[in-house]
Amino acid sequence: MAAPPPLPLPLILLILLLAVSSCASAAAAGAPVVGEDYIRPPPARCHRKALLSLFPWSKKKESSASDPQQVHISLAGEKHMRITWITDDNSVPSVVDYGTKEGTYTMKSQGESTSYSYLLYSSGKIHHVVVGPLEDNTIYYYRCGGQGPEFQFKTPPSQFPLSLAVVGDLGQTSWTTSTLNHIKQCEHDMLLLPGDLSYADYMQHLWDSFGTLVEPLASNRPWMVTEGNHEKEQILFFESGFQSYNARWKMPYEESGSRSNLYYSFEVAGAHFIMLGSYTDYDDSSDQYAWLKADLAKVDRKRTPWLIVLLHVPWYNSNWAHQGEGDSMMASMEPLLYAAHVDMVIAGHVHAYERAERVYNGRLDPCGAVHITIGDGGNREGLAHRYRNPKPAWSVFREASFGHGELKIVNSTHAHWTWHRNDDEEPVRTDDVWINSLAGSGCIVEGSRELRKILMSP
């Protein structure tokens, strides 16, 4: 058989040129793009794991009306945990059996219950039971209402290191599921959520589906949340605001001396956390303002060297979305936070990620707070892609993509913050920075007496 004729030289050169061009294109496509130039690709249809497949109790058996639904936990004062769940059967008692061995319950706590009606919707029986005192950094097994499946949770540690998952504007989309999967993969002691939970927006059954969606995570580690605009659900003349949120997500406001579930504080290990309400009064004559002053004045930075604030509407935001909405609250409360030397302020609301340098009164300030916007959990409204230019001097990193944050407070002086972009199966670490506590700096030592007077004044 005769050998095939050789390829013409021009054709060989063309093939080589195309090969080189393809390799160059592939290399360029593989180069990482981060920050505001990043464009989120369409979701991969075949690469979405179901959230519930990651947990042992995910395969639900046929449940009865008395079985617990939408179980979640939150801190309720020192060494105590609040367990919340819902039943369709109103005769189920608000009791929790618990212990440190699987299937063995040596302790029992009794709590309270509530319910609410919203237009044509009536909730199930909402149970709130506080258990404790509890040992630190310990796994507890528990059962709600005297029957049904066994759950478990782990209490936070009493000292550093402390690991926190942070996510805002969560919603109930495929992106939400992916984000929650990524959070499950990171070891964390507690989750912080600065508002906009379910995106129910008046459709109350979506609160129920949200509770079911987050139960695997929220029943296992404490979720500490504050309200956003999507929790308000007020209908003039018909429904007051925050009914669903207050009934379902009771936080330790009474334990922290607050009169409202919309703002409160708590302590874990060596950190003091303050959850502020962007949608309740905050001027200098308001209850929230007076409570904040009193709470800040009680903070002992030797005992809790880290001071962190969460709220929904960001004060420092270079995205065009929700521009200026936090200005009035910032004008009222930023001087208080500066006087108290707050380390970090974490917000949501804007559906993108942004990290600012330490800043105060619109200018870079080494004694100001690090501001982070993380309203990118996966909500149905999509991302906020448009940023203002030129970028402000205080803005370090900004990107419109879904994701979550992780804050590991290593010791009294150093914390490691990372933000993880939500790329289908993989949480891609995209922003990474070490933060020094102001308690370990000269800011508190050199802070003027005039600033302290702001906190102590009537």
Q: Which residues are catalytic?
A: 322
Tell me if 310 sits within 8 A of 346, measured CB to CB: yes
Token pair 């690991």: residue: 163
Nearest to 83 by CA among 111, 107, 55, 117: 111
Q: Which two tokens stand for residue 242?
A: 């925050």
Side chain identity, residue 434: W
CB atoms within 10 A of CB 388: 13
Q: Which two tokens stand for residue 343?
A: 């380390």
Token pair 């509770």: residue: 211
Residue 48: φ, ψ to 5°:
-110, 110
Nearest to 161 by CA among 420, 404, 413: 413
By three-state DSSP, how is residue 6 classified? coil
Tell me if 127 sits within 8 A of 85, measured CB to CB: yes
Question: How far is 422 from 186, CA to CA, in rounded Å?
Answer: 13
Contact partners, residue 280, CB within 8 Å, separation at least 6: 260, 262, 263, 286, 288
What HEC string does 34-85 produce? CHHHCCCCCCCCCCCCCHHHHCCCCCCCCCCCCCCEEEEEEECCCCCEEEEE
Tell me if 452 sits within 8 A of 339, measured CB to CB: yes
CB atoms within 10 A of CB 262: 23
The radius of gyration computed from the CA coordinates of the chain, to the nearest angstrom, equals 25
Start-to-end Cα distance in the chain: 104
Tell me if 154 sits within 8 A of 191, measured CB to CB: no
